[in-house]
Amino acid sequence: MKVPGSSTISKLWEAELATFKGNNAKLTAVLLESTANVKQCKQQLAAYQEEAERLPKRVTELECVTSQTNAVHTHKTELNQTIEELESTLKKKEEIQRLKQEIDTARELQTQRDSFTQKLQEVEIGNKDLEGQLYDVEQHLEKSQNEQEAFHNNLKTLLEILDGKIFELIELRDNLAKLIESS
């Protein structure tokens, strides 16, 4: 084997040194990246541990909330029942109020009906009185008509008698006039 010259060795060493430097830079970069990854992993691990510590507390909180939710649900159910009962009571009160108003209206109508009935009775009594007066007037009228007719008949008879007497007087006058003329 031939020993190369010092400049060749030096170039080889420089090339190898450059390779080492390149490899060293790559290793340094990988080491830095690994360190960063390790830090990130430690941070994630710490976050996981923190989360692992927090989760049992959260589970306990959620169990409390669940029991509170059940209590709230029970309370809500009770409130809904109370609301339904109150609404039913309110409807009954409104119905009672409406019925009271109807009763008051019915009483007012009954009072008006009684008043109208009394007025009707008074009018009927007045009508009977008027019918009685009308009957009396009709009787009086009929009597007056009968009397007038009798008077008329009597007057007619009297006129007929007067006509007869006038005729007799005329005849008597004529006879007297004839007698006076003939004497």
pLDDT computed for residue 64 by the predictor: 80
The residue type found at 70 is N
pLDDT of residue 56: 84
Tens of pLDDT, residue by residue, the chain (183 residues): 455 567 888 888 888 888 888 888 898 988 898 898 888 988 988 888 888 888 888 888 877 877 777 777 888 898 899 989 999 999 999 999 999 999 999 999 999 999 999 999 999 999 999 999 999 999 999 999 999 999 999 999 999 999 999 999 999 999 999 988 887
Distance CA 19, CA 27 (A): 12
Q: What is the pLDDT of residue 101?
A: 93
Tell me if 17 sits within 8 A of 25, measured CB to CB.
no
Question: Hunting for tokens 């692992």 — which residue is that?
Answer: 52
Closest CA to 120 of 180, 112, 62: 112
- Tokens for 42? 């430690």
pLDDT of residue 5: 64
- What pLDDT does 54 receive? 83
Residue spans of the domains in the chain: they are: 7-138
So what's the pLDDT on residue 75? 84
pLDDT value, residue 92: 93
Tell whether the torsion through CA atoms of 154, 156, 160 and 163 is positive or negative: positive
pTM of the model: 0.38
